[in-house]
Amino acid sequence: MSGDILIRADGLSVGFQIGKGMFNKQILKAVDGVTVEIEKGSFFGLVGESGSGKTTLGRALLKAVPITGGHARYDDGEVQYDLAELGGTELKDYRKRAQLIFQDPYAALSPRMTVRDIIAEPLEVMGLTSSRAETDEKVREIAAKCRLNLEHLRRFPHAFSGGQRQRISIARALVSDPKFVVADESVAALDVSIQADVLNLLKELQRDLGLTFMFISHDLSVVAHTCDHVAVMYLGRLVETAPTRTLFNAPKHPYTKALFSAIPSLDPDDRGKTQKLEGEIPSPTNQPSGCKFHTRCPHAVDRCKVEEPSLQHAEAEGHEVACHRWQELFEPA
């Protein structure tokens, strides 16, 4: 990537202690040494199966879970923060600069609050406005940008459809004027017909407000239509990262290839050629040695069981892959 970098993570890790007692303690490594850069104004996609660590990585970059190893630097041109060390008034300031759009538009909104109060709450909690009139003005402004009918601000969430509720969630996340937004499976709970509408709105808001998005999804086809750059995660590690077009035209990692096989092809000639993803992702408390994907990889050799591959430059600019065999497996003949 070549532009200004908003977030730069270097060896970032998040571990949780689980189990009780002297002999039963275990560390669950949800994110394990992730190095990544997110360009200002980009739509950065993070994909992987459930249990890959993508939600935890998003939360760590929002400083919503403790960073237990490595570093993450945030630099929006006004302030620079070391996220691993952030606390006190700097953390309060970061809360308004970095926001989350939740996955489930039904669970995320309090049924007892009006839409106006739901959107206004972050402004009031963070003390970002000095009068009710100022709060109302900001609420109306962001509601209009999120294509909400201003008449609806007095109503309660149950009166709205899933797509409308997600637009309320988006307005609430953006009302504090953040620079960085993590959208965690933000269209997964919506009907396919509504997904495109919400994705278009997110892209429009990104452009108009100069936002930087981290878009977390298990669905590569959604990421393809939305993101500029994609990182693929497996068991807490990044296994491949590339500009979206490069990744979709020439994936190099067997796991990425297998994720593509989950997307139904419209071309009858392609059917049956794809590599299916077999088995379940292993437990993060009991991770395989060497390459973490070796227990499911059809191309695994002895080396894969003992030596963990690191991300290395592939052919195209910005393309990196962590696989010992990518050159022999997926190079054009």
Q: How far is the CB of 235 from ligand SF4 (least distance, A)?
A: 11
Helix axes of 132-145 and 192-209: crossing angle, nearest 10 degrees: 120
* Beta carbon nearer to ligand SF4, 180 or 255: 255
* Beta carbon nearer to ligand SF4, 54 or 294: 294
* Beta carbon nearer to ligand SF4, 18 or 301: 301
Contact 92, 176 (CB under 8 A): no
* Beta carbon nearer to ligand SF4, 220 or 323: 323
Q: What angle do CA 123, 126, 128 make, to 5 degrees?
A: 55
Structure token digits, residue 327: 């050159």
Contact 30, 233 (CB under 8 A): no
Of the candidates 223, 209, 134, the one whose C-alpha atom is nearest the C-alpha of residue 174 is 209
Q: How far is the CB of 275 from ligand SF4 (least distance, A)?
A: 11
Distance CA 138, CA 123 (A): 9
DSSP string, 246-269: HHHH---SHHHHHHHHTSPPS-GG
Helix (H) or strand (E) run with residue 60 in it: helix 54-61
Q: Rounded to whole angstroms, what are the CA distances from 83 to 22, 39, 50, 90, 285?
A: 31, 17, 25, 10, 25
Q: How far is the CB of 320 from ligand SF4 (least distance, A)?
A: 14
Q: How far is the CB of 328 from ligand SF4 (least distance, A)?
A: 9
In the complex, the residues that contact ligand SF4 under the rule CB under 6 A are: 254, 291, 293-294, 297, 299-300, 304, 309, 323-325
Distance CA 310, CA 156 (A): 50
* Beta carbon nearer to ligand SF4, 97 or 257: 257
Structure token digits, residue 64: 């919503």
* Beta carbon nearer to ligand SF4, 33 or 41: 33
Q: Cα-flanking dihedrals φ and ψ of residue 64, to 5°?
A: -95, -15
